[in-house]
Amino acid sequence: GMNPTETMELMEVIRTIRNKFNVAILLIEHDMNLVMGICQRIIVLDYGRVIAQGAPAEISKNQMVIKAYLGKEMENDA
């Protein structure tokens, strides 16, 4: 695993490559902070089956994703 500093550095490297070369990048990752922070479009698999796809804002609210990966509904930070 990476520490938060390394994660932020990786996010910046990915952004730089994506913007400089105008390419799509396939990222397979379980760190949801990294995924939500860098991806424009996300496809979520559960046991090899696509259960959701869309923008990070859509994915974070998807009940199938919440059930599969969090086991319960996410609570808003207040």
Please state the domain count of the chain: 1
Instruction: Indicate the pLDDT class of residue 78, thresholds 50, 70 and 90.
Output: very low
Whether 52 maps to a domain, the answer reads: yes
Tell me the mean pLDDT in the region 4-21.
95
Whether 14 maps to a domain, the answer reads: no
Tell me the mean pLDDT in the region 6-29.
94
CA dist 65 → 8, 20, 52, 72 (Å): 24, 32, 7, 10
Whether 63 maps to a domain, the answer reads: yes
33, 3 Cβ separation under 8 angstroms: no
What's the pLDDT tens digit per position in 28-75?
Answer: 998 888 999 999 999 999 999 999 999 999 999 999 999 998 766 545
Whether 48 maps to a domain, the answer reads: yes
- pTM as predicted: 0.76
Domain range spanning residue 62?
41-78
pLDDT surpasses 50 at 26: yes
Per-residue confidence (pLDDT) for residue 5, from 0 to 100: 95
